[in-house]
Structure 1
Amino acid sequence: MTQVRDLMTPMPQTIGFDISVEKALEMMQEYACHHLPVLNGGKLVGVLSDRDLSMARHDSSNAKTEHLVGDLMSDEPIVIEPSAEINTAIRIMLNNKINSLIVKAEANQPWGILTSTDLLRYVVEKT
């Protein structure tokens, strides 16, 4: 069976919780990604998605307010073991209506991120 570690992106780009939303958008465009794990002092504190940014842009009540990543991020990222089977990851994403999971670090291996894009790429390559 294919495991999360086989499809995850190791050591993904990250962003600080106190960085501007504009900088986050620039980073997502530069690195062609849709999710940025959010760190505070090197500790994972959330995940910022392009959907979070899009909702903030369309929220007229916040149009004139300068946002920081910490204002918009999901502050309870779901963490999965790298040894988990892909079907487990898919179920977690579907049940929580999310498009990424943070992958826990293993001994001598970096932590990572698994996204719905990774899963779709896997399905296409299998067919």
Structure 2
Amino acid sequence: MTPLPHTVGQEQTLSAAQALMEKHHIRHLPVLHGGKLVGLLSERDVGLIGALNDVNPDEVKVEEAMSPEPWTVRHDSAVTDVIREMTRHKYGSAVVVDAHGKLLGIFTTHDALQVLGEILEGQRLSKPPPA
């Protein structure tokens, strides 16, 4: 999980959000309004809007392109359950929140691959060397 991820305001422009994504090499931005989670903007969302010929990303607000109800998980959720749901629904990320819905972090497919790598590395280290 990436704790305290970069975020974007719903009133910001798509071009500003895209610049933030490019600067920090990220594909998902939680969208906040008054400190409250109100959506999720993905690189895919930005690309879909950007592909429209008559749309200027300097004039389109994040709230017009974001997913308004992002999938959230509690901070104490089992990582295996989160990964299973991400796989089942083809989610690229899970927004991690506390019991009150406050943004704590974001868990992405990159994080899931890191977990898998750690598991596989642990299995490799626990096996005796070949004879």
TM-score range, shorter chain: 0.7 to 0.9
Q: Does 1:37 align with 2:30?
A: yes
Corresponding position of 1:4: none
Aligned pairs for 1:99-110 (under 5 A) are 99-105=92-98
* Displacement after TM superposition at 1:28 (Å): 0.5
Q: Which has the higher contact order (CA 8 A, sep 6+)?
A: 1
1:125 paired residue number:
118
Paired residues in the alignment total 118
Match of 2:65 in 1: 72
Q: What are the Cα deviations for residues 37-80 of structure 1, in whole angstroms up to 9, with x where unaligned?
A: 000111100000101111112233x4347211100000001111
In structure 1, C-alpha distance between the alignment counterparts of 2:63 and 2:91, rounded to whole Å: 18
CA contact (8 A) 1:103 1:114 kept: yes
Matched, 1:82 2:75: yes
* 1:56 aligned residue (49, 59, 68): 49
Structure 2 spans left out of the alignment, 5+ residues = 121-131
Whether the 8 Å CA contact 1:38–1:46 is kept in 2: the answer is yes
RMSD between superposed Cα atoms in Å: 2.1
CA distance in 1, matches of 2:15, 2:63: 13
Distance 1:12 1:44 in 2: 12
Q: Which amino acid aligns with 1:41?
A: G
Distance 2:80 2:22 in 1: 29
How much has 1:106 moved relative to structure 2? 6.2
TM-score, with structure 1 as normaliser: 0.82
Structure 1: runs of 5 or more not aligned: 1-7
- 1:7-22 residue pairs with structure 2 within 5 A? 8-22=1-15
Displacement of 1:96 in angstroms is: 2.7
Q: TM-score normalized by structure 2?
A: 0.80
For 1:22-44, what per-residue CA distance to the aligned partner results, in whole angstroms no more than 9, with x for missing partners? 00011001111111100011110
**Distance in 2, Cα, partners of 1:98 & 1:118:** 13
Are 1:105 and 1:112, in contact at CA under 8 Å, matched by a contact in 2?
no
